[in-house]
């Protein structure tokens, strides 16, 4: 039994104020939103700061300021936010704006920062403080996007974007990509989230902070699924009670990766939902990590697991091609079936918008027809030309104004650009972009730039993919340690076999691989034996530093003046742009503004 003195001491003990987590009702939150010139705080700058201070469910203050980024605002950012160079020329510079903002927020003991997709906004604010050589106050930070994933189901809202959640929670302010408006909308979303968290028993700041990093009961109860796994490369498959795959993944170390799903480090709500349904786990050990990656792609495409997001619709990727008819036209299609080397094609593209931009890029500098009907001798008698004929952007083959031989020059130019020499069309697009920029039609110039980029990316991917699928057999190796090598056999763009071997017996391993590797037949299609994602995984593997070509049956090469070369040149130019080049650009933009004001 405790002595009387001990009992008195115990009953008299009280925790300090620092040890008591404040209730949410007592906590002051500052909801912040930024507008910037780009997506990375390493290369972009802040253009606007908006913040709303709330306490006990009431707004107690607001803060808003434009910020002079000391660099031109890209046209697409101006279109998105409405913030122009003219608006920020007289605005406070970064130092003044940051000091005013920090003064509004107060100390880290007074306020808690809240943001939607907090790593973005807080990342820019921390980078700004580092640039100004001031210490960042150790604010506690809450991310409404992260917490919302735990309290809003996919049936209620398809995603956790601010616009989606604002509509769902009935926000009084619509987010419009202006800092203060978005901060006000985030306040309403935050209050909606707090209302829901009440049913989870979340009443204090500490409980709210730990809510999105907690280990669920399903994670605790199903931790046994990670027991006894090997620490080798491979594929893991979570299955439900009926044995249907829920999620398929790949890793270099099966034991460590699968264990991570049952720790607090796994915060994705989608994965938590998957684990709650998981009943069993299968693993497939592989000789190499590249084999594991390829097996994962194939299994996802075949099994269509509900909790995987990428690679489920490899056969439905978007491509563009020239149709086979007397007067071909450009079309976007789903799937690579029907593509061949005789007609022009490019892809795959990341979405319908990207493929449409690539087609529009070719429309911009060629007179390929844009109408859809098939042109025949009988159709020419009743057809009438469209406005493009009057604009001299089409030769009107629909009414017989352009012969098949004459029209074929446009087709040949596109085919050459997509497969052999991209310079004529890319140079024409560059000239068009410069012409628009010189006329200060910056939004149109930016659109041409986007079209040019889409065309380069799509045709470069096509040329890279076809360069590998033409090769009958390629054996490559890479060192994994001082005396161990990894070997792969690739046939027509498909991984046929892989293995590891010691330096002293690699010849025997290579011969064995050649004999036991999967037989792959070239069926004449651009993807004879696999989907494009597998080919691109293999291309990344083959292009890594240290790879060695052991044997090759065929020619693996890209067009000297193809789009792949153009993409490489663009990347080099971007890498060479100096950190201070923005000063000259900004000075030029100020001069242009002054000239417009004078005129």
Query: Token match 């052991």: residue?
Result: 550
Query: Token match 């065309």: residue?
Result: 455
Q: Which residues are catalytic?
A: 177
Q: Is 324 left (phi over 0), alpha (psi -120 to 50) or beta?
A: beta
Question: Rounded to an integer, what distance in angstroms lies between the CA atom of residue 473 and that of residue 457?
Answer: 26
Question: Rounded to an integer, what distance in angstroms lies between the CA atom of residue 205 and that of residue 111?
Answer: 11
Interior CA angle at 36 toward 31 and 37, to 5°?
Answer: 175
CA distances from 85 to 68, 78, 275, 581 (A): 9, 8, 49, 17
CA distances from 117 to 125, 140, 144, 158, 350 (A): 13, 15, 7, 17, 24
Question: Rounded to an integer, what distance in angstroms lies between the CA atom of residue 171 and that of residue 193?
Answer: 12
Helix axes 563-576, 442-469, angle to 10 degrees: 130
**What's the CA dihedral at 328, 332, 336, 339 to 10 degrees?**
10
Question: Rounded to an integer, what distance in angstroms lies between the CA atom of residue 502 and that of residue 479?
Answer: 10
Nearest to 230 by CA among 203, 251, 207, 209: 251
Q: Are 74 and 37 in contact (CB under 8 A)?
A: yes
Q: And the tokens for 459?
A: 């045709």
Q: Are 110 and 57 in contact (CB under 8 A)?
A: no
Q: Are 152 and 160 in contact (CB under 8 A)?
A: yes
Q: Over 449-510, what HEC string results?
A: HHHHHHHHHHHHHHHHHHHHHCCCEEEEEEECCCCEEEEEEEECCEEEEEEEEEHHHHHHHH
- Cβ count near 283 (within 10 Å): 17
């Amino acid at each position: 039994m405790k002595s009387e003195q001990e009992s008195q001491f115990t009953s008299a003990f009280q925790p300090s104020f620092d040890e008591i987590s404040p209730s949410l009702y007592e906590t002051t939150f500052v909801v912040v939103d930024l507008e910037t010139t780009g997506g990375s705080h390493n290369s972009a700058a802040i253009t606007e700061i908006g913040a709303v201070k709330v306490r006990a469910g009431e707004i107690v203050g607001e803060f808003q300021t434009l910020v002079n980024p000391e660099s031109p605002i890209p046209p697409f950012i101006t279109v998105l936010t409405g913030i122009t160079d003219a608006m920020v020329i007289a605005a406070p510079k970064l130092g003044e704006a940051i000091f005013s903002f920090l003064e509004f927020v107060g100390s880290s003991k007074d306020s808690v920062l809240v943001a939607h997709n907090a790593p973005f906004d807080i990342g820019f604010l921390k980078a700004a403080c580092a640039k100004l050589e001031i210490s960042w106050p150790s604010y506690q930070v809450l991310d409404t996007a992260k917490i919302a994933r735990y309290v809003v189901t996919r049936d209620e809202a398809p995603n956790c974007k601010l616009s989606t959640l604002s509509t769902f929670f009935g926000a009084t302010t619509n987010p419009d990509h202006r800092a203060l408006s978005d901060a006000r909308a985030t306040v309403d979303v935050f209050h909606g989230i707090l209302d829901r968290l009440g049913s989870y028993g979340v009443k204090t700041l500490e409980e709210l902070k730990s809510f999105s990093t907690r280990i669920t009961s399903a994670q605790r109860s199903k931790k046994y699924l990670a027991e006894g796994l090997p620490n080798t490369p491979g594929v893991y498959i979570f299955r439900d009670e009926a044995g249907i795959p829920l999620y398929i993944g790949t890793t270099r170390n099966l034991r460590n990766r699968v264990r991570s799903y049952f720790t607090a480090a796994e915060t994705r709500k989608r994965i938590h939902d998957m684990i709650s349904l998981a009943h069993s786990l299968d693993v497939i050990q592989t000789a190499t990590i590249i084999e594991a990656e390829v097996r994962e792609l194939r299994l996802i495409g075949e099994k269509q697991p509900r909790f995987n997001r990428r690679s489920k619709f490899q056969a439905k990727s978007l491509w563009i091609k020239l149709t086979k008819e007397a007067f071909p036209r450009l079309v976007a299609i789903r799937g690579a079936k029907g593509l061949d080397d005789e007609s022009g094609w490019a892809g795959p593209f990341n979405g319908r918008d990207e493929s449409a931009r690539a087609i529009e890029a070719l429309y911009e500098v060629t007179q390929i027809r844009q109408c859809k009907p098939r042109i025949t001798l009988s159709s020419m008698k009743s057809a009438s030309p469209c406005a493009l004929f009057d604009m001299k952007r089409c030769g009107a083959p629909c009414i017989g104004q352009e012969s098949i031989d004459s029209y074929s020059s446009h087709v040949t130019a596109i085919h050459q650009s997509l497969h052999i020499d991209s310079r004529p069309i890319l140079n024409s697009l560059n000239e068009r972009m410069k012409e628009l920029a010189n006329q200060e039609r910056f939004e149109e110039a930016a659109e041409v730039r986007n079209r040019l980029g889409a065309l380069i990316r799509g045709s470069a991917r096509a040329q890279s993919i076809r360069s590998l699928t033409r090769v009958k057999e390629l054996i490559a190796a890479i060192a994994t340690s001082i005396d161990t090598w990894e070997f792969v056999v690739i046939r027509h763009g498909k991984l046929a076999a892989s293995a590891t071997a010691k330096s002293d017996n690699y010849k025997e391993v290579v011969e064995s691989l050649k004999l036991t590797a999967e037989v792959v037949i070239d069926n004449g299609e651009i993807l004879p034996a696999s989907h494009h994602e597998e080919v691109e995984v293999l291309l990344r593997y083959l292009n890594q530093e240290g790879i060695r070509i052991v044997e090759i049956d065929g020619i693996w090469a890209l067009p000297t003046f193809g789009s792949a070369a153009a993409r490489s040149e663009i990347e080099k130019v971007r890498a060479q742009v100096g950190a201070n080049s923005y000063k000259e650009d900004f000075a030029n933009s100020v001069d242009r503004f002054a000239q417009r004001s004078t005129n």
